[in-house]
Chain A
Amino acid sequence: MEKILEVKDLELSFHTFAGEVKAIRGVNFDLIKGETLAIVGESGSGKSVTTKSIMRLLPEHSSEFKNGHILFNGKDLTKLTDKEMQKIRGKDISMIFQDPMTSLNPTMTIGKQIMEPILKHRNVSKSVAHKEAVDLLRLVGMPKPEARMKQYPHQFSGGQRQRIVIAIALACNPQILIADEPTTALDVTIQAQILELMKDLQKKINTSIIFITHDLGVVANVADRVAVMYGGKIVEIGTVDEIFYNPQHPYTWGLLSSMPSLDTADEKLYAIPGTPPDLLSPPKGDAFALRSDYALKIDLEETPPFFKVSDTHYAATWLLHPDAPQVDPPLAIMERMKKYPGSRYYEGTEGGTY
Chain B
Amino acid sequence: MTKYIIRRIVYMFITLFLIASATFFLMKALPGSPISSASKLPPSQLAVVEAKYGLDQPVPVQYAKYMLNLAKGDLGNSFQFKNASVTDLIMNRLGPSVLIGSQGLILGVAIGILLGMIAALRQNTIWDYGSTLIAIIGISIPSFVFATLLQYWLGVKWGLLPVALWKDGWMSSILPSIALAMGPLATASRFIRTEMIEVISSDYITLAKSKGASGFEIAFKHAFRNALIPLITVLGPLAAGLLTGSLVIEQIFAIPGIGEQFVKAIVSNDFSIIMGTTIFYSVFLIVIIFVVDVLYGIVDPRIRLSGGSK
Q: Which residues of A approach B to under 8 Å, CB–CB?
A: 55, 57, 61, 82-83, 86-91, 94-95, 97, 99, 102-108, 116-117, 120-121, 152, 154, 165, 168-169
Contacts and interface: CB of A to CB of B under 8 A. Distances in A.
| A contact patch SS | mixed
B206 A105 contact: no
B209 A105 contact: no
14 contacts: A82-B215, A86-B213, A89-B210, A90-B211, A94-B211, A97-B207, A102-B203, A103-B203, A104-B207, A106-B300, A107-B226, A108-B221, A108-B222, A169-B210
Given A57-B206, A152-B301, A154-B301, A106 B212 contact: no
B208 interface: yes
B287 to A, nearest CB: 25
Interface string B41-77: 0000000000000000000000000000000000000
B211 A117 contact: yes
Given A102-B202, A103-B204, A107-B226, A95 B301 contact: no
Given A105-B226, A107-B225, A57 B211 contact: no
B207 A168 contact: yes
Contacts of B204: 102-106
Contacts of A57: 206, 209-210
B83 interface: no
A94 B221 CA distance: 20
Contacts of B213: 86, 90, 116, 120
Interface of B: 124, 202-204, 206-215, 221-222, 225-226, 299-302
B301 A88 contact: no
A91 B213 CA distance: 11
Nearest to B205: A105
Closest 4 CB pairs of A and B: A90-B212, A90-B211, A89-B212, A152-B301
B21 to A, nearest CB: 41
Contacts of B209: 57, 89
Contacts of B210: 55, 57, 89-90, 94-95, 97, 169
Contacts of B222: 105, 108
B300 A87 contact: no
Contacts of A82: 215
Contact of B211 (A99, A116, A154): A116
B226 A106 contact: yes
Contacts of A89: 209-212
B277 to A, nearest CB: 39
A107 B299 contact: yes
A163 B157 CA distance: 66
B214 A106 contact: no
A169 B203 CA distance: 14
Contact of A86 (B207, B212, B225): B212
A95 B207 CA distance: 8
Nearest to A171: B211
A94 B212 CA distance: 9
A87 to B, nearest CB: 7
Nearest to B125: A61
Contact of A103 (B207, B212, B215, B225): B207
Contacts of B124: 61
B207 A117 contact: no
